[in-house]
Amino acid sequence: MLWTVGLCLLLGSSGMSHPLSSRGGNSGRNKLLLISFDGFRWDYDRDVDTPNLDAMARDGVKATYVTPAFLTITNPTHFTIITGRYIENHGVIHNMWFNTTTLEKKSYWQTQFVNEWWDNGSLPIWITAQRQGLKAGSLHFPGTASLYQGEKVGVGEVEPAVYDYSNETVWRGNVDKVMGSWFRDQDLDFVAMYFGEPDGAGHKFGPDSPQRKEMVKQVDRTVGYLRASAERHGIGERLNIIITADHGMSTVYRKNVNEIVLRKIPNFSFSDLAFHIVDYGPTGMLLPKEGRLDKVYNALKGAHPHLNVYKKEEMPSRLHFSKSERILPIVLWADPGYLINGYFPVQWNKGEHGFDNRGLDMKPFFRAVGPSFQKNLEVSPFETVNIYPLMCHLLGITPEPNDGQLNYTRQMLVPPTEGLIRPRIFIGLGAVGGFLILVFFVFMIHNVLKRQKTQERSETAEHEEDSTNIKQTSM
């Protein structure tokens, strides 16, 4: 009987050791904060002093870099991070919503409010978390405003149309809001958070500029501030933090020789097109008029040594940018340094992204810290589709179908046997041992008393009471 009780205790205690249950806190699972610093290229910490990012790497995990989805632009690649799907599979194929019949286009910001654009068959992790009983929030993360199958993020904030994405005071206010109000007071389990820099500085001044370096210092200060804020709000012990970005940044060659201007290409004519998106960095998409696909394609293919031209269905499969019906029949992208201009060169940015995701300049950084992560570990590069299954694992939720694998990120985690099961088995064995010792003593005392009782048959009621008490204790 005693052994059965002991066994139950042991099994009970190891049965509770679900790898996702809390460590360092008593109230349930760990929380997860996903942060994107737009356009933070993987090597931006190499030419700037970044004490807080360095400390985070020592306390946690750092990937050499990660590979974003293609097209390497903001809305599509962010949606890959929170769905685990390649862009051709989630359908958010561009920063801009567009209609090839009416020729309408909506800006990055306006597109946030077009539900049909975002809700194209894939659910962001916050919807999946909510459906499985968790509480989620999103601050400025692309996709926040949209409904998905009629559902919205529980706590969401979309930036106003006119917004300074670079104000450090505002950043700190947002950090404290997420830590204090969202995580601590409202007890959210998951929050996605977006910062619009250093993308802005990288575009305007170029990735090698002093302004970009200053902005990386600001990001670094903010990372220090947010880890301190988590401590200050008493959630540091049970908060996992993932910090990454949507794409990198590449220097645009100075306007001198050999610019790509479609109008100047022999035999190419805009009058053969029904709809086009060009003058958008190094990428373009064309919808030729009925029957003119091959004419347009033949005119462009090979017309410029730094212009890549593909029919949609012939796209290199490694780019995963083909299957969506939203992708137009001809896809263009330029080699690093070049832009795709339509009639005239009208793009003035010194830095751009949108290039092939193989190029090192397009790779974002990746950092993670918290109770579930190893310390002082650098891991090999992986694709950003794999962040989603990692996040689902950390939250203990069942993922939607996706293109990632936990396999690529599992080595970052504290092995469950080290972190949880073994200590719990020790606790279990300790409990069983203690229980058996207690039972042994009670048994011995009981026997001694019983013997005394047998010897002195005429006993007082006091002694009866004592032995009864002892028996009760041993139950």
Q: 74 contacts which partner out of ligand NAG, Zn ion, none, CB within 5 to 8 A by kind?
A: Zn ion
What DSSP string describes 22-49? Answer: -SS-SSSSPEEEEEEETT-BTTTTSSS-
Q: Compute the CA torsion angle 259, 260, 262, 268 (nearest 10 deg).
A: 110
Go through 400-412 and write b for each residue having 16 or more CB atoms within 10 A of its CB, e for each that does not.
bebbbbeebbeeb
* 107 binds ligand NAG per the rule CB under 6 A: no
Q: Is 74 a catalytic residue?
A: yes
Q: 120 contacts which partner out of Zn ion, ligand NAG, none, CB within 5 to 8 A by kind?
A: ligand NAG
* 64 binds ligand NAG per the rule CB under 6 A: no
Among 14, 22, 120, 251, binds ligand NAG (CB under 6 A): 120
* 214 binds ligand NAG per the rule CB under 6 A: no
Residues 180-219 that bind Zn ion (CB under 5 A): 199
**How many residues of this chain interact with ligand NAG, rule: CB under 6 A?**
16
Listed residue (170, 176, 187, 193) closest to 241, CA to CA: 193
In the complex with ligand NAG, which residue's Cβ is closer, 174 or 341? 174
* 468 binds ligand NAG per the rule CB under 6 A: no
State the burial class of residue 379 (Cβ atoms within 10 Å of its Cβ: 0-12, 13-18, 19+): middle
- List phi, psi (to 5°) of 471: -60, -45
In the complex with ligand NAG, which residue's Cβ is closer, 106 or 213? 106
Q: Are 261 and 348 in contact (CB under 8 A)?
A: no
Catalytic position from the list 67, 74, 144, 283? 74
Scan for tokens 């109008």, then name that residue.
Answer: 263
**First-to-last C-alpha distance (Å) of the chain:** 12
Among 169, 258, 317, 455, binds ligand NAG (CB under 6 A): 169
Residue nearest to ligand NAG (CB): 121
Among 4, 26, 27, 102, binds ligand NAG (CB under 6 A): 102
**Shortest Å distance, C-beta 323 to ligand NAG:** 11
DSSP 398: P
* 246 binds Zn ion per the rule CB under 5 A: yes
* 271 binds ligand NAG per the rule CB under 6 A: no
The 369-408 contact track toward ligand NAG, x by CB under 6 A, reads ------------------------------------x-x-
* Helices within 101-194 (DSSP H only): 108-111, 115-118, 125-131, 168-176
* Alpha-carbon span 289 to 287, nearest angstrom: 7
In the complex with ligand NAG, which residue's Cβ is closer, 159 or 352? 159
Which runs of E-coded beta strand occur in 53-207?
Answer: 61-63, 66-67, 136-139, 155-157, 190-195
Residues 328-367 that bind ligand NAG (CB under 6 A): none
Among 52, 67, 74, 409, binds Zn ion (CB under 5 A): 74
The 81-100 contact track toward ligand NAG, x by CB under 6 A, reads ----------x-------x-
* Alpha-carbon span 444 to 429, nearest angstrom: 22
Which runs of E-coded beta strand occur in 245-389?
Answer: 250-251, 260-261, 273-280, 283-288, 307-311, 330-334, 340-341, 351-352, 366-369, 377-379, 382-383
Residues 3-62 that bind Zn ion (CB under 5 A): 38-39
Site of interaction with ligand NAG (CB under 6 A)? 91, 99, 101-102, 120-121, 164, 167, 169-170, 266-267, 325-326, 405, 407
Residues marked active site are found at 74
Site of interaction with Zn ion (CB under 5 A)? 38-39, 74, 199, 246
